[in-house]
Every structure is written in structure tokens, then in C-alpha cells.
């Protein structure tokens, strides 16, 4: 027995029923849980930003740039868990140069690039160009040049040019909403299109992923807004929280309904995979599905948000409730990703047994690596907020 | 006045709807017609090979002949340098035991390489049989469909192969195979699977599993050649593929496949 | 009104142009040689797949030297069982002709029992099944049976 197979023998000892011999080892671990989670945060944060811009929800204005920069910092990291889980990461570039048109994963590369280059970067650029030109003139030394480069040398800040910034930015936002929908719907499709796996293969998968993405993104922006205000020692505007909370409430209801419908459909149709899936959710996924995703991530936040809609608690209480709700929702959505990704691999495709899964702490596919990819975007966000502080932007009269 | 505009509006809606319906029905008819034309060769080859001079390989496994000796699984590992640990198999044998109470007991200790012991007492057994498993070399293979880079493909001979120099190890193909036939090679760190002993086929030899099968339970052959033994066999036997509902275009045909088998 | 081209547009067009051209140039150099010749894959990979060395030589290779065994086998029920079923991979032996390079099974009750042990699930009509608990206990199969000609009993 070679030592590095030991963990496989351990899993084999813990497997139940019959699994195909090649199924002992789980192929996608915690990194692939983190990947749709991060991508979801991006899409959700962007959609919240677009609300302000396209639907003119003025009250959300203080969160507009925060949401955009949050989306950007997470998007920059979004592919990293994917690449670091490859067993030949040095070949990752092949996805871009010879993308297989029938592969959901290959096309994701282009959806990602489109979203990064055409939507997010452009929208932020148009939004910040005026300020960056002004900052370039104010600053000295290195920073002057940094801003100069960031403006791409477009220094025209005549009203006519600035007006075009607004117009083009608006167009990008309008393109951006379906793009954000596609980006995360696509992540759902990566799973939903695997017909070999009954736990994944449902046409609702992209839609469920999309709505849970919006839930998590909105919750994240809520938290980021509160935390930034705390560090800047500025008062949190409770009206802003209320507005975000209201959207979170509605989207959470939609998300909950959709996932419920999916499960009802599954239970009623009771196809050949039904027995094994029933066993799966009642044993291996019990904690993460019913407790973590259902109770902690959905029922409690929904109740809290419902009360917040109808009762005007003291401001301090409301802030605390929003903060805790935001965290619980993020835990819930993370659990949802876990249930989909890990849950879908725990049962055998023979529908006759289960393998088991234990997350390692270290290694390329371990908890620390996953935690790193989750923390890194927060660092990037701090950097971006320092480089492009929304509160120092040149005020535009409109 | 307002009424007349509304009728005019209705008229407009009607014409545009008629136009749409007409276009849609033409499109639908064209689609149906095309697929009808294309559907005429679904029987043996789910997809017609492009190069007609090459064989189009399929496999037959006769469950009635398999005695569960595990020679195939063992020879496969030796021929293809598959690690001996019991987690990596290009082919393996499963023992199905249907009990009198209707429950099904499936085992495949070490892929059947060490042979089988019957753990269910004789008097409880309704029926018992062995099912050798290997890559189905699907003509509409879900595994090659999902490969993001084109590192796995159906060769012109209908053999599903892997490009070990190009595989990025994303494991999407392992997820997509409904038969559990793929694994990540622990040393090469790329996807690995049955190649129908492509290197042997090219030298005119039978795949290793078939070379060593004492009862001739496995057979491979050219599905394009209507006089080949495999086509003759398929003509005379009622065969079935695994998971026909998934429409994978499997070219691994089982004779005497029991409904319990997944 | 005079046509006005916002200054942002040409600059962004240049930036995107550079980015896309760079991508196309890189792609040109990075795509492997035979990629796409037959389909969306490296055609040379089929040559790679045909490369691995043989371990099992195939029965015809055995019979080139062991004509006598072929004759024996052809007269009895093991006729369709290929040499390497019991002797294991033989390519090494085919090349070297050394006795040590081929596996010689012991002919024990375990070895023959892998196929012949009485067992529910094995089809009785096609293969002789022996109740190892009752059949000539204490003897190895090879003491009576010649594996190449099992029904030609040894005295």
C-alpha cells in the first residue's frame, strides 16, 4: 500500500452501498464550491449597482461605486479557484486558444472575459474617468502617472465629453444586466447540463444559481457598505439599509420559491434517481441542506427581513439585524453551493451507494486554499477603494 | 375614433401574428424534415463515421457468458499500466445478486480482479450474474462533449480517446460520464479511460480484456461492415445499452442485460 | 448638427484592438500543430495513443513456436481460451524466448477454481463447475488434468 493512496483506502472504508470503483475519490472539492460562490457575489453585486443606474433608485446611490468595485474585486479572483483545482494548471490557457464550442466550461472563459472587459471595467472607467483626470492633475509622483495611465490618455473633461461618459456608461449598464444574468446563469449551466448527474441536471439550475447569486451579492454589498462606513467613521444611512433590505427580501423570496419548486418537481416526478437522492438529502446533506441552507440561510433571514419591512425598530436594532441577516444569507448561499457541488458527487452514478468526503486543511484543494481565494478579493477591494475612493469622486451636477 | 384605432391596431397585430405563425411553421417543418432525413441511421451507429474506409468500432458483452473470473480487469491494468490500487479501472466486473425479497446486492471488490465470493446465502438468491463494465465508446459521448479544450474526442474509428499531452485535468469529463468509466491518473495527473486498446487495434490485435477472456464474453468489431461477426451477433440477439434514456449513443451492447443493471 | 466623435471611443477602440490582436497572435503560436485536422482535437494524439508498448502478445505470437500446444488445445474444451488467459502477458517472452519471462500457473485448486469453482451466477451449461469442497480433496487440479487438454486425464 503506497502511503499517498491511504486517504482513498479510508474513503473506501467509509463508502456505503455500491459505488463504481472509479468514484471513490471526489473529483471536485471545496475550490469548486468557492468558484460559483464568488461568481455569484459578482453577478449579485453588479445587479444591485445596475438597479441604481438603470431604474434610478436614488436611495442606493451611496452603494453604487461600492457595489461595482466589490464586483470587480471578486471577479478578478473568480477564475482562480478553477485554475488552482486543475491538475495541469499550466495548461489552463488552452481553454482560451482552443475552446471547445460544445463545452459549457470553455464558453465560460469568454463569458467571463466579456463581462470583465466589456461590462465591469468599462462601466467603472466611464464612471471614474472625470475623477481620474482630476486626480492625475492633483497628485504628484508615481500616483500622477498611475491615474494618467488609467485614463488611457483621454483627458477631455468638457461637459460634452463628460456627457458622453454618462451616456456610454448607461449603455454599458444596460448591456451589463443581461451579461450579469448570463454570467451566473452560465455557472448554473455548467452543472445543470450534466445529464449523467440527476442532482445537477435540471433546467432550473441556471435560474436557481442566478437568483441565489443575486441574494448573495446584495447581502455582500450590504455588509461591505456597513463595514466601510464603520472604518471611515461615517454614520450608516439606515434608509440605504432599508432599501437594500427590501430588495434582499424580495429576491430571497423568489430564490426560495424557485428552489422549492425544483424540489417539489423532483419529489413528484420521482424518477429512477429519486431513492438515492432522498437518502442523500436525509443523511449526508441533512445538516448543510436543511439546517445551514434552509434554516440559517433562508428561513431566519426571511423572517428577520419580513419583520423589518413591517416594524420600525430602533435604528441600532435595525442595523444589527441587517448585519446578522447579511452574514446568515451568505452562509446560506455558500451552503447551497456546497450542497450542489459536493452533494452531486456523494452518490454513485450507479444510484446504489455513497462515497464520502472530508475536506483537507492544506494542499492545493484544501480549506486554506479556498479561504485564501475568499479573502483575497477583500484585499483587492481595500486596494481599489484606496485607489478609486468613491467618496473623493468629483461631484457632478445633474 | 378611439375604437377605429383599436381595430386598426388589432388588424396590425393579427397580420403580424399570422406572419409570425407562418414563419414559425415553415421553420418547424424544415427542422422536422431535416431531423427526419437525419434519423434514418440511428440503429447501429448513432453517428455515421466520416471516413467510410475506416472501421466504426462497437463492443458486445454477453452477460450470460461472463463467469466473473476477473481476467479482463487484471489484464487491462497490466496492458495499459493502470495503477494497481483499487481506485482506478478502465474495465471492471460487477456481481449482481437479486435476492428473493427483491433487493439487489452489487459488489465489485478490487474491480473483480481477485475473483468473487458469493456473500448472499444460496437460499436467498433469486438470481445472480456478472456484468463487465468498460467505456461505452458512445457515439454521442457526453464526456467528449464537455471537454473544454478538445483533449478527449471520438476518433474517426469511433473510439473515445484522450490526449494526455493536452488534458488540463479539469475533471469535467469524469463528471459527465454516466457510466463511471473515467478517472484521473494519479501519476500522469490527466484523465484516463479505456481506449479499446487502441495501440493493439492498430496492430491488428484484440483488446487485452478480450484476448484473455476465457469464455469469449466480450467481442469487438466493425459496425460498418454488415458481414462482420458483431453485426451478425447484433442481428441475432436482443441487445441493450446501459442508460438508453440518456441518449449517449453507446456502442457497448449487452446481451441478456437485466433491468437491475445501472 | 456637426458629427461629434467622443474622444473616449477611438481610445477604447485602440485599447481593445491591441488586446484582441495580442490574443490572436498568441493564439496563432500556441495552437498545436495538428489541431483541428479531423475534429476539435490534436490529430497527432491518435499517434500517441497507438504508441504504448504491448504487454499481451496475442495467441498467434505464441503458436509461432508452440505448435504442439496449439495441437493439444485444439482437441479439447480449452480450445477457445487464449494462452495469455492463464499465462499472463507474454510479449516479453515472445521477444526474449526466456522461460523466466513467462508466468507458469501452478494449476492449484485456487487458480483453476477462479473459473471452475461451483458458484451461483456462473452459467452451468457452458463451463464445468466443480464443488471444491467435495472434489478430490487435497489434490491439485494439475495432478489429474492437463490444463491444455483437460479431459485427457493423467494416469
DSSP A214-273: HHHHHHHHHHHHHHHHHHTT----HHHHHHHHHHHHHHHHHHHHHHHHHHHHHHHH--TT
Instruction: Tell whether A92 lies on the interface with B, counting CB pairs under 8 A.
Output: yes
- State the residue range of the domain holding A243: 27-341+359-392
Task: Tell me whether C56 touches chain B (CB under 8 Å).
Answer: yes
A238: closest CA of chain B, how far (Å): 45
Distance between B20 CA and the closest CA of chain A, angstroms? 25
Identify whether the C-beta of residue A122 lies closer than 8 Å to the C-beta of residue A172.
Answer: yes
Question: What pLDDT is stored for residue B119 in this prediction?
Answer: 86
> Which of the two residues, B33 and C9, has the higher pLDDT score?
C9
* Lowest-confidence pick of A138-147, A361-370, B201-210: A361-370
Do the chains contact at A91 and B149, CB–CB below 8 Å? yes
- Residue of B46 and B99 predicted with greater confidence: B99
Any domain includes A18: no
Q: Closest CB to A20: pick one of B85, B151, B180.
A: B180
Cross-chain CB nearest to A165 (options C8, C27, C30): C8
Q: Where residue C121 falls among pLDDT bands split at 50, 70, 90?
A: low
Q: Give the residue among A387, A386, A371, A324 at the shortest CA–CA distance from A146.
A: A387
Q: Is A364 on the interface with B (CB under 8 A)?
A: no
Quote the pLDDT of residue B5. 42
Give the model's confidence band at B41: pLDDT under 50 very low, under 70 low, under 90 confident, else very high: very low
Write out residues 50-109 of C within 8 Å (CB-CB) of A: none
Do the beta carbons of residue A321 and residue A287 sit within 8 Å? no
Contacting residues of A for B246, CB less than 8 Å apart: 195-196
Least confident window among A113-117, B77-81, C126-130: C126-130
What is the rounded distance in angstroms from the CA atom of residue B63 to the CA atom of residue C15? 63
The ipTM, to two decimals, is 0.91
Between CA A29 and CA A27 the distance in angstroms is: 6
Structure confidence at residue B2 (pLDDT): 41
Q: What is the pLDDT of residues A316-336, one digit of tens each?
A: 999 999 999 999 999 999 999
Q: 178-207 in B: which are within 8 Å (CB) of C?
A: 195, 198-200, 202-203, 205-206
Three-class secondary structure of residue B192 per DSSP: strand
How many other β-carbons are positioned within 10 Å of the β-carbon of residue C20?
A: 11
- For an interface test with B, which of A22, A109, A197, A198 has the most B Cβ atoms less than 10 Å from its Cβ? A22
Is residue A96 in a domain? yes
Name the nearest CA neighbour of B66 among B254, B240, B261, B243. Answer: B254
pTM of the model: 0.89
Average pLDDT over residues B216-220: 95
Using 50, 70 and 90 to split pLDDT, how confident is the model at B39? very low
pLDDT score, position B1: 37
Residue B29 has pLDDT above 80, yes or no: no
**B221 and B229 Cβ atoms separated by less than 8 Å:** yes
The pLDDT-based confidence of A211 (bands split at 50, 70, 90) is: very high
Residue B240 in contact with residue B254, Cβ under 8 Å? yes
To the nearest whole angstrom, how far is the Cα of C89 from the nearest Cα of chain A? 23
CB-based contact, A126 to chain C, within 8 Å: yes
Average pLDDT over chain C reads 89
Picking from B87, B148, B180, the nearest residue to A99 by CB comes out as B148
Residue C123 has pLDDT above 70, yes or no: no
What pLDDT score does B192 carry?
A: 96
* Phi-psi label, residue B150: left if phi above 0, alpha if psi -120 to 50, beta otherwise: left
Q: How far is B12 from chain C (nearest CA, A)?
A: 36
* Neighboring chain C residues of B165 at a CB cutoff of 8 Å: 42, 45, 48
Q: Number of folded domains in chain A?
A: 1
Contact criterion met (CB below 8 Å) for B207 and A63: no
Q: Which pLDDT does position C119 carry in this prediction?
A: 77
> Which residues in C lie closer than 8 A to residue B215 (C-beta atoms)?
80, 126-127
Q: Which three cell numbers stand for residue A16?
A: 456505503
Q: Is residue A9 part of a domain?
A: no
pLDDT value, residue A388: 95
- pLDDT of C43 higher than 90: yes
In a mutational test of the C interface, the residue from A148, A154, A157, A169 whose CB has the highest number of chain C CBs within 10 Å is: A154
Instruction: Determine the pLDDT at residue C124.
Output: 63
> What is the DSSP annotation of A73-98?
HHHHHHTHHHHHH-SSGGGTTHHHHS
Give domain limits for chain C.
51-104, 106-155
Pick from A109-113, A256-260, C118-122: least confident: C118-122
Which of A47-56, A166-175, A212-221 is the least confident region? A47-56
Kindly report the nearest CA distance between residue B177 and chain A, in angstroms. 6
| Of A259, B159, B227, the residue nearest C45 (C-alpha) | B159
d(CA A30, CA B111): 28
Contacts 24+ apart (CB under 8 A), A282-288: A283/A354, A284/A343, A284/A346, A284/A354, A284/A356, A285/A339, A285/A343, A285/A346, A288/A335, A288/A338, A288/A339, A288/A343
| Inter-chain CB proximity C30 and A154 less than 8 Å | no
Q: Which residues of B touch A25 (CB under 8 A)?
A: 87, 183-184
**For a pLDDT cut of 90, what percent of chain A falls above it?**
78
Residue of A nearest to B88 (CA): A22
CB atoms within 10 A of CB A114: 14
Cβ–Cβ under 8 Å, residues A131 and A142: no
Q: Are B137 and B152 in contact (CB under 8 A)?
A: no
**Which of A76-90, A348-362, C71-85 is the least confident region?**
A348-362
Lowest mean pLDDT among A187-201, A372-386, B81-95, C130-144: C130-144
Nearest 5°: the CA angle A386, A389, A390 is: 155
The verdict on a CB contact (< 8 Å) between C6 and A161 is yes
Look at residue A59 and tell me if it is in a domain: yes
pLDDT at B20: 62
- pLDDT(C2) > 50: yes
pLDDT band at A374 (very low <50, low <70, confident <90, very high): very high
Q: What is the mean pLDDT of the segment spanning B172-184?
A: 96
Q: Which residues contact A374 (CB under 8 A, 6 or more apart)?
A: A34, A37, A38
Are C49 and B161 an interchain contact pair (Cβ–Cβ within 8 Å)?
Answer: yes
pLDDT at residue B42 tops 60: no
How many residue contacts between A and C have a Cβ separation below 8 Å?
Answer: 37
Q: Is the pLDDT of residue C86 over 70?
A: yes
Answer whether C69's CB lies under 8 Å from C83's CB. Answer: yes
Mean pLDDT of all residues belonging to chain A: 92
Amino acid at each position: 500500500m503506497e502511503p499517498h493512496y491511504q486517504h482513498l483506502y479510508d474513503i473506501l472504508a467509509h463508502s456505503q452501498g455500491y459505488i463504481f470503483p472509479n468514484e471513490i475519490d471526489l473529483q471536485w472539492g471545496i475550490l469548486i464550491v468557492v468558484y460559483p460562490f464568488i461568481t455569484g457575489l459578482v453577478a449579485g453585486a453588479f445587479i444591485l449597482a445596475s438597479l441604481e443606474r438603470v431604474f434610478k433608485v436614488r436611495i442606493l446611490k451611496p452603494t453604487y461605486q461600492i457595489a461595482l468595485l466589490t464586483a470587480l474585486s471578486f471577479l478578478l479572483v473568480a477564475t482562480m479557484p478553477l485554475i488552482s483545482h486543475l491538475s495541469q494548471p499550466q495548461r489552463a490557457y488552452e481553454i482560451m486558444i482552443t475552446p471547445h464550442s460544445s463545452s459549457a466550461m470553455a464558453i465560460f472563459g469568454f463569458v467571463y472575459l466579456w463581462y470583465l472587459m466589456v461590462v465591469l471595467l468599462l462601466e467603472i472607467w466611464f464612471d471614474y474617468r472625470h475623477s481620474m483626470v482630476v486626480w492625475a492633475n492633483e497628485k504628484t509622483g508615481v500616483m500622477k502617472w498611475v491615474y494618467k495611465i488609467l485614463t488611457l490618455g483621454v483627458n477631455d473633461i468638457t461637459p460634452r465629453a463628460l456627457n458622453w461618459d454618462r451616456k456610454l456608461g448607461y449603455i454599458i449598464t444596460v448591456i451589463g444586466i443581461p451579461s450579469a444574468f448570463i454570467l451566473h446563469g452560465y455557472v448554473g449551466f455548467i452543472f445543470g447540463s450534466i445529464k449523467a448527474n440527476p442532482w445537477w441536471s435540471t433546467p432550473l439550475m441556471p435560474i436557481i444559481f442566478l437568483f441565489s447569486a443575486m441574494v448573495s451579492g446584495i447581502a455582500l454589498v450590504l455588509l461591505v457598505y456597513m463595514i466601510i462606513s464603520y472604518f471611515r467613521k461615517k454614520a450608516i444611512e439606515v434608509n440605504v439599509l432599508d432599501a437594500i433590505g427590501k430588495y434582499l427580501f424580495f429576491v430571497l423570496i423568489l430564490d426560495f420559491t424557485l428552489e422549492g419548486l425544483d424540489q417539489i418537481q423532483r419529489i413528484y416526478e420521482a424518477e429512477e434517481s429519486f431513492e438515492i437522492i432522498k437518502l442523500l438529502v436525509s443523511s449526508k446533506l441533512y445538516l448543510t441542506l436543511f439546517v445551514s441552507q434552509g434554516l440559517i440561510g433562508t428561513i431566519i433571514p426571511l423572517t428577520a427581513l419580513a419583520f423589518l419591512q413591517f416594524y420600525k425598530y430602533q435604528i441600532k436594532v435595525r442595523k444589527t439585524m441587517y448585519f446578522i441577516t447579511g452574514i446568515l444569507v451568505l452562509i446560506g448561499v455558500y451552503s447551497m453551493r456546497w450542497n450542489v457541488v459536493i452533494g452531486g458527487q456523494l452518490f454513485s452514478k450507479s444510484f446504489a451507494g455513497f462515497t464520502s468526503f472530508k475536506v483537507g486543511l492544506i494542499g492545493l484543494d484544501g480549506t486554506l486554499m479556498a479561504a485564501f481565494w475568499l479573502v483575497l478579493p477583500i484585499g483587492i477591494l481595500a486596494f481599489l477603494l484606496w485607489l478609486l475612493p468613491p467618496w473623493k469622486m468629483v461631484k457632478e451636477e445633474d | 375614433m378611439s375604437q377605429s384605432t383599436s381595430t386598426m391596431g388589432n388588424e396590425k397585430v393579427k397580420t403580424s401574428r399570422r406572419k409570425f405563425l407562418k414563419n414559425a411553421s415553415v421553420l418547424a417543418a424544415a427542422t422536422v424534415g431535416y431531423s427526419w432525413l437525419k434519423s434514418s441511421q440511428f440503429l447501429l451507429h448513432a453517428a455515421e463515421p466520416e471516413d467510410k474506409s475506416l472501421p466504426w468500432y462497437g463492443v458486445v458483452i454477453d452477460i450470460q457468458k461472463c463467469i466473473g473470473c476477473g481476467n479482463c480487469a487484471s489484464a487491462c491494468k497490466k496492458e495499459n499500466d493502470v495503477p494497481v490500487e483499487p481506485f482506478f479501472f478502465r474495465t471492471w466486473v460487477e456481481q449482481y445478486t437479486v435476492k428473493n425479497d427483491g433487493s439487489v446486492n452489487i459488489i465489485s471488490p478490487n474491480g473483480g480482479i481477485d475473483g468473487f465470493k458469493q456473500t448472499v446465502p444460496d437460499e436467498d438468491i433469486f438470481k445472480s450474474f456478472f456484468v463487465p463494465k468498460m467505456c461505452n465508446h458512445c457515439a454521442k459521448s457526453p464526456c467528449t462533449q464537455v471537454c473544454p479544450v478538445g483533449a478527449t474526442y471520438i476518433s474517426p474509428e469511433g473510439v473515445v480517446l484522450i490526449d494526455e499531452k493536452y488534458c488540463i485535468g479539469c475533471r469535467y469529463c469524469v463528471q459527465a460520464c454516466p457510466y463511471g468509466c473515467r478517472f484521473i491518473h494519479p501519476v500522469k495527473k490527466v484523465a484516463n479511460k479505456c481506449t479499446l486498446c487502441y495501440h493493439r487495434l492498430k496492430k491488428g490485435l484484440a483488446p487485452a480484456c478480450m484476448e484473455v477472456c476465457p469464455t469469449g464474453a466480450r467481442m469487438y468489431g466493425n459496425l460498418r461492415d454488415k458481414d462482420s461477426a458483431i453485426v451478425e451477433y447484433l442481428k441475432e440477439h436482443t441487445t441493450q445499452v446501459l442508460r438508453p434514456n440518456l441518449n449517449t449513443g453507446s456502442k457497448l451492447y449487452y446481451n441478456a442485460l437485466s433491468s437491475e443493471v445501472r | 448638427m456637426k458629427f461629434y466623435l467622443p474622444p473616449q471611443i477611438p481610445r477604447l477602440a485602440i485599447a481593445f484592438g491591441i488586446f484582441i490582436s495580442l490574443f490572436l497572435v498568441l493564439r496563432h503560436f500556441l495552437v498545436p500543430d495538428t489541431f483541428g485536422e479531423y475534429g476539435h482535437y490534436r490529430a497527432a494524439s491518435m499517434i500517441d495513443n497507438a504508441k504504448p508498448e504491448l504487454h499481451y502478445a496475442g495467441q498467434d505470437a505464441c503458436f509461432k513456436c508452440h505448435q504442439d500446444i496449439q495441437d493439444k488445445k485444439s482437441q479439447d474444451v480449452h480450445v477457445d481460451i487464449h494462452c495469455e488467459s492463464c499465462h499472463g502477458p507474454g510479449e516479453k517472452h515472445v521477444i526474449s524466448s526466456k522461460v523466466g519471462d513467462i508466468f507458469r500457473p501452478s494449476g492449484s485448486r485456487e487458480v483453476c477454481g477462479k473459473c471452475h469453482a461451483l458458484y451461483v451466477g456462473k452459467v452451468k451449461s457452458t463451463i464445468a463447475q466443480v464443488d471444491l469442497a467435495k472434489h478430490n480433496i487435497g489434490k491439485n487440479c494439475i495432478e489429474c488434468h492437463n490444463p491444455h487438454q483437460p479431459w485427457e486425464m493423467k494416469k
